Amino acid sequence: MNILIVYAHPEPKSFNGALKDLAVSELISLGHQVKVSDLYAMNFKAVADEEDFQSIQNEDFLKYAVEQKHASKTSSFSSDIQAEQEKLLWAEFVIFQFPIWWYSVPAILKGWFDRVFASGFIYSRDSRYDTGGLKGRKAMLSATTGSPKMAYTLYGMDGDIHEKILYPINHGMLYFAGLEPVEPFIAWTPSHKEEDRKRYLEEYRSILHNLSEIPSIPYHPTSHYDENHQLKKEYR
């Protein structure tokens, strides 16, 4: 398989760095083709602005999504965006490796989504979710936390991680773009104990060996919603 790893951590010797390095070496040893977007090493620009386009349609008023649509039609994104989009089209499976920062992804990765998951390229009025531009590809979040697992349960202080924290990423970004998100890998509080870190690395290694077996998250296709964006009664 062609596998893209989008990696967002500023420190190569971090536990996120170790998970990324493990993924690269294991996947290559299994015969996969692997590309890595190491966003900090690339000094990836996180802010969305007019520099993202080689030509601007409306110089008087920057309507970012409209300019994205124009750039998609005319292949006129800045070269850094274009390179990431080409990697996505090449990939059959995308892994996102990051620490949870402020209940979300680090800003550099959020900026990657803002700029790379562009209107016209990834989505349009009629093409989103199960018909999004990256349809046919799978994606997995591999995240680390500061809070312990119990804090991320239904009645925990941080709330259910799947519903409160990862849903906006899995559903709002990956699935919206047409990707098929699979169950995430989470290393809880890796900064605490060496024995936990060893166990996480072993667990992750076995997951990497069975990427195609990881269950997908069962989201509804757009046809299950009515014209008011409500889930039809028969699917509730």
Ligand X SMILES: Cc1cc2nc3c(=O)[nH]c(=O)nc-3n(C[C@H](O)[C@H](O)[C@H](O)COP(=O)(O)OP(=O)(O)OC[C@H]3O[C@@H](n4cnc5c(N)ncnc54)[C@H](O)[C@@H]3O)c2cc1C
Q: Which is nearer to ligand X, 18 or 122 (CB)?
A: 18
Q: 236: which residues sit within 8 A by CB, 6+ positions away?
A: none
Q: Does 219 bind ligand X (CB under 6 A)?
A: no
Q: Which of these ranges, 64-72, 82-90, 144-152, 205-213, lies near ligand X under the rule CB under 6 A? A: 144-152
Three state DSSP letters for the chain:
CEEEEEECCCCCCCHHHHHHHHHHHHHHHCCCEEEEEECCCCCCCCCCCHHHECCCCCCCCCCHHHHHHHHHHHCCECHHHHHHHHHHHHCCEEEEEEECECCECCHHHHHHHHHHCCECCCEECCECHHHCCCCCCEEEEEEECCCCHHHHCCCCCCCCHHHHHHHHHHHHHHHCCCCEEECCEEECCCCCCHHHHHHHHHHHHHHHHCHHHCCECCCCCHHHECCCCCECHHHC
User: Does residue 153 touch ligand X according to CB under 6 A?
Assistant: no
Q: Would you count residue 15 as binding ligand X (CB under 6 A)? A: yes
Stretch that binds ligand X, among 61-69, 74-82, 140-148, 202-210 (CB under 6 A): 140-148
Q: Which of 78, 110, 124, 146 binds ligand X (CB under 6 A)?
A: 146
- Which amino acid belongs to residue 167? Y
CB of 44 to ligand X, least distance (A): 17
Binders of ligand X in range 78-117 (CB under 6 A): 99-103
Q: In angstroms, give the least distance from the CB of 165 to ligand X.
A: 8
Taking the least distance from each CB to ligand X, the nearer of 73 and 198 is 198
Tell me: does residue 197 bind ligand X (CB under 6 A). Answer: yes
Tell me how far, at minimum, the Cβ of 147 lies from ligand X, in Å: 4
Taking the least distance from each CB to ligand X, the nearer of 73 and 193 is 193
Span interacting with ligand X, options 13-21, 49-57, 59-67, 70-78, rule CB under 6 A? 13-21
Footprint of ligand X (CB under 6 A): 9, 11, 13-16, 18, 99-103, 144-147, 190-191, 197
